[in-house]
Structure formats: C-alpha cells, structure tokens
Structure 1
Amino acid sequence: MEIRYDWQNTEILAIYNTPLLELIYQAASVHRQYHNPKQIQVCKLISIKTGGCPEDCSYCAQSSRYKTEVKPEALLEKETVIDIAKKAKATGVSRVCMGAAWREVRNNSQFEEVLDMVKDVTGMGLEVCCTLGMLTADQAKRLEDAGLYAYNHNLDTSQEYYSTIISTRTYGDRLNTIENVRQTNVTVCSGGILGLGESIQDRISMLQTLSNLHPHPESVPINILSQVPGTPLENQPDVPFWEVVRMIATARIIMPTSDVRLSAGRARLSQVEQAFCFMAGANSIFSSDDNKMLTVTTPCPDYDADQEMLNLLGLEMRPPFQKQQAVPTPVTV
C-alpha cells in the first residue's frame, strides 16, 4: 500500500465504515507491511510538573479552572525523574515521556532543568518524549540539541469541534507547534481523544488533518476519555469499544508507517479488547509501576499485568531506537 498525504474526508469515512471484521483484517494486513507485528513499544509517562495549568481543556484534571483531586506541585527534581526512568527501563520500557502542565514553554530556569532531564534520560539509552505545551522553533531546537527523540502535541479533536473543548488556545496554535518541531529532527507524536462528545465526522476530520501532514506523525496516540470529577466532561458516556477499534484500524490504514499508541483509557479495556486493538494496528502502550498514567485521576495498567498480557499474546517489547518493519509484502486495500 502506498503512503499518501492527500486523503479525503469521504475516503477516510468509507474506510471507517467498512464492515468491522473486514476493517480489522485490512488494518492487520497493512500493519504487517510496515511493522513487526510481534513487537509492542512500552512507554512510561512521568508527570514532571503536575497541576496548576491555566488552560481550560474540558477533559483535564490538571486545569487550575476546575476543582479536581489534582493539586499543583513543583517541578520534580532531576534525580527523582532519573530514578523513575531507571525503574522503567529495568522492566523493558523503551520510551519515557515527560509531561508538564504548562500552557507553553518559557525560557526560564525550569526549562533549563527539563533540558538537563532530557540529556540524562537519553544518556540512559531510552527514547525521550516531552509534552510541555506550545513551543517555539528555537525551543524545539534546544530540545533537539539536548537529545530529545519525540515531542507530543495532540490535536485532541477536529478543527470544527475544537473550540467546544478548549478556548485558551486555537487549533492553529497546535499545528504551529507541530510545524516548529518539524524544523528539527525530533519526531512528532500527535493524536486525539475519543469521548469528548464529538461526532464520527469530527473523528474523521481529525484523522484527515493528521494524515495530510507531510510526513505523517511518527506516533499517533488514540486516547479514550477518562471522565474526571470536577471537569466539564465528568458525565460523558463511555465510548463504545468497537468505535475505538475502528479509529485504530482507520489510523493504521491511512498512516501506515506511524506507531499507533493505545494510550489513556486503556485501563478500562480487557485483555481480549486490547488484543483486538493490537490486531487492528496498535503497536504501543503506556505502562506504569503505580497504576496511574499522568495523574491520580488517569489509571494505567501496571508493568506486571502488561508483561503477563504480552506473554499471553506472544508479543515482545520493542527495544529503543528501533523502528522495526516487517518485510514489505504486496497487500491490496
């Protein structure tokens, strides 16, 4: 299957609406063309600066505008981050993602500390990803110089629905940060969240935006909303599981070389459901030693449970800095 950057809305919708088992089969076939289907990348997310964010993202426990269980905390000490990363590496984790509840990166002492963290964790032989909010081209270059492997900046949803969820920054701001990262050799991680009250058309529109980026994001996280008490979306209904599978499969088909990451919300999925996600093209998960992904309100399966699941399914953890590909075989989709 050729790699395209001109996917149209109607084409993506047609893929999404393919009869379910046929869709999973097509996605699995594409996955085997471009990836080693036996490997899953396991990632660890560290909240290096928790809470107190001035943004009004309607889903987020870390916004200072909502009364949630999350309390503002200072930037973690570098030694603490290194210790967490060492423990993660010992379990087979190959990527450490460091997240800060900032609207944007500022050129101050905290950014200098983050740069030091990036250097040291990279020096451990791990891929390092950061998600720090909006970023200038100069800041992206400094992160690249520190050894950063990836930068996460999700689109969250469609451009049309975006203002319903967030008013403190624009869709254009998000795309601008991605463009600033693209001026470096740092890879891009960008996806969205299911369950914000968006329509299927919004999901298709978001996928179209991602798939029309040239090149595609190297990582595409598919997050499932974790309803956080105290946020505007606390009473949102759960996303039906098969809609999650459809999103993963569609993303896999239209962005065949990208890693599709089964991210937030995975804790609510059974082993069988996760197996369907892997069959549909997901090849990355987040794991933890404390049963939380980013904050106390976002649960995450632990290392032991994930190792047991991978063993059961005959899957192995992908080493860092290793973009595994299967031998390309002709597949008609």
Structure 2
Amino acid sequence: MEENNVIIKQDKKDDVTVPKRDRTEEIRRLWYKFSMNKLSVAGLFIVVFVIIVTLCRKWMAPYPEHAGAFVDFSNASKAPSFAHLMGTDTLGRDVLSRVIYAFKGALTMGIGVLIVVVPFGSMLGLIAGYWRGKFVSTIIMRIADVFLALPALILVLCVSSVMEPNLTNSMLALCISWWPWYTRMVYGMVVSTRNEIYVKSAEILGASKWHIMMKEILPNCMAPIFTKMTLDIGWAILAGATLSFVGMGEQAPIPSLGEMVSNGVNYLPDQWWLSIFPALAIMVIVLGFNLVGDGIKDMLSNEGD
C-alpha cells in the first residue's frame, strides 16, 4: 500500500511539474516567433500604449473636463500650440483631451463586439459542423449565408437606423452582421476534422457530443479563431468610427473619433486639425491591431514547424 502511495504521489508530481515547464517553453517559443516580425512588435507597442492611455485618461488628458459638456468660446478654433497640442474645436474644447477620451469608446467597440460574436458564432459553427442531423446544420448555415450575402456595412447601417444612436446599439448592430463569419470559418474546420482519428477514438470510447466538440475539436480550431479575432478588432473599431461619422454612434457631448472627424470636415481646409488628428488616431489604433494580428497569424501558422 505504501509503495502504491509513493507511486501515486510521484505521478502527481510529474503531472504538475512537466506540463508547467513545457508551457513556459512553449510561451517563450511563441514569443520568439512573434518578435521576429518587427512590425508586429511595433504594433504591440501601439496597442499597449493606447490601452495605457485609455486606462489613465484622467491623468494623461491635459484638460479632462473638455471631454464632457464644456464650452470656452474665448479659446475656440485655436490652431495647434504648446497650450493645445492638437488645437481646439469650435466650442473651445481641447482636441487632444477629447481624442484620449474617445479611445475608450473605440476599444469598447472593438473588444465588446468580439466578446459577443466569437463565442456565439464559433458555437454555431461547432454545432453545424459536428452535429449529425442535417436539419440543424442546414438551418444554421442557411441563416448564416443570408447574412453573408448582404453587404456588412449596409446591414449595420440598416440595423442602426432603427435603434437609438449610442455605443451599445452600435455594438449590437455590428454583432448582428459579424457572427456569420466565425460560424462559416469554424464550420469548415469542423467538417474537415470530424473524421480524424482522435475524434473517432473519443466517439468509440463513448464520449458525449458536447465533450467531443469542446474538448477534442474546439482546441484545434483556436489558432485560426484567435488569429481572425485579433485582425477583426481593428475592423470593428473602424466600423464603429464609421457609424459615429454618420451620426449613429456615440452622441455629443461624449467624444467619439468618427463624430470628431465628421464635425471637422465642415471646417476644412482652414481648421484642418479638427478632422486630421482624430482621423490619424483612428488610423494608428487600427494599424496597431492589424500589425499585431499579422504577427499572431505568422506565429500560429507555423505552429507545426
């Protein structure tokens, strides 16, 4: 009995230490492959910087009160200077402070949409791809095809037009148009892997369909899902800015990058800073996420090398 206890303890010790060491080595290897792409590392710095600025916006914005209902006509339409690095708008509000506060809505749009879309779309793709009943698979995929047949931006604008313009409804409109892409992608991967040996072995051993989908098939789909997710954050932010540009996103006095660009266009070219700096902010944040997504795609695509 004592020998058996010793063996069991030794097995438990091995189960704890070996995977931990392997996991650390795997993380180091993945980071090395990611760091080989210098542009992706630059994109990661951009993303981290934007996140830090967003979290510390109350201390980093030179005029935090300008992000709300604030008017100072004595400083209205001031060109960029040391006092206002990005100038002021037609109501005397500091553009830099409003850009910093607008990052919160942009990140909320990008991350919030994917938090809803990725699990929902991936789960539907799993069910449609693995479930043997053709009726279930047909219903899910035909509904997805209907949404995919419609131009995404047109669908988002149509959905947004019937709802009150705010950040939550903009996110809902994007979710309605975005989930079929993940359903279609996961469905294709599940169909190609459901006849693999490890799936058949789990079925022979009597594993439930839920166990096979979540424990056997889904882990092998995570690399493409995560790659698409990182690339889609930038596109979701750009789509949110588009909705704000046409007046269907966050409403004044809450700062929004798209709304700031839209208002600034009316004063071009004289007051160029009103639209140029918010547009550059959109470009930088989308570029940062896209560069990170490219690095993750290269890192995971060579996983088997």
Could you tell me the TM-score, scaled by structure 2's length? Answer: 0.26
Could you tell me the TM-score, scaled by structure 1's length? Answer: 0.25
Q: Highest CA radius of gyration, 1 or 2?
A: 2
